[in-house]
Amino acid sequence: MKRSTLKLGSIATAVALVSVMASCQNKENTTAPATKSESATVTSAEKIVYVNSDSLLTKYQYFKDLKTKLDAKSKTAQTDLASKQQAFQREVSQYQQQQNTLPADQRASTEERLARKQQELQAYSQNAGAALQNEQASENEKLYDKVAQYLKTYAKGKGFKMVLTYSKGNSAILFADESLDVTSEVIVGLNEAYKADKK
């Protein structure tokens, strides 16, 4: 199973590299060879550019604000959970100190109550974790949509046909000329759009 996934990933990477190399070579030509279904025209003004996603995330104010908000919520949830756990531990310790002096029926009912509380605490912890993950996934989707929408408008305005993403250590781009890097310009535009949205 892993082998076939690896092969498909390698094939996809190879196809992407061949496509990028072919488009770079075709920059000098005014037309590309016609395929059976349609012919494509490539002019020297049409470009493929890329954005460094690492820089984008560290310099995009919306992402910084989002990270701060999610970190604060996570810290609040952890603090809340820790205080509930400490209260439960105090109850358990108190019971353990008194258990030898309690009648059997009272011991049994206290142990049942503590077991229920422990289950409730575990359920609370799981629910809080799931809620945070759901919110993070939702916010990440909004972030992606904001960036994708901005890049769509940006590329159209500049006449770019494709905007690739580059991330150190996790990229299909092995080499790209720095003149194709539009990260700084995109960050400025995204931050200006975010400032306008906040007003």
pLDDT tens per residue, range 110-133: 999 999 999 999 999 999 999 999
Same domain, 11 and 39: yes
Last residue of a domain, one of 139, 159, 181: 139
pLDDT tens figures, 40-67: 333 335 588 989 998 988 999 999 999 9
Q: In the chain, what percentage of residues exceed pLDDT 90?
A: 54
Distances (CA, A) of 56 to 32, 166, 184, 187: 33, 10, 8, 6
| C-alpha triplet 108, 109, 114: angle, nearest 5° | 100
Same domain, 37 and 80: no
Last residue of a domain, one of 105, 139, 173: 139
- 141/147 Cα distance (integer angstroms): 10
- Could you tell me the pTM of the whole model? 0.65
Same domain, 57 and 73: no
pLDDT bracket for residue 37 (50, 70, 90): very low
Same domain, 73 and 99: yes
Same domain, 91 and 187: no
Residue 177: give the domain boundaries. 2-62+148-198
Dihedral-angle region of residue 159 (phi above 0 means left; psi in -120 to 50 means alpha; beta otherwise): left
Last residue of a domain, one of 96, 120, 139: 139
Instruction: Specify which residues 31 forms β-bridges with.
Output: 41
- 46/170 Cα distance (integer angstroms): 26
Same domain, 81 and 52: no
The total number of structural domains in the chain stands at: 2
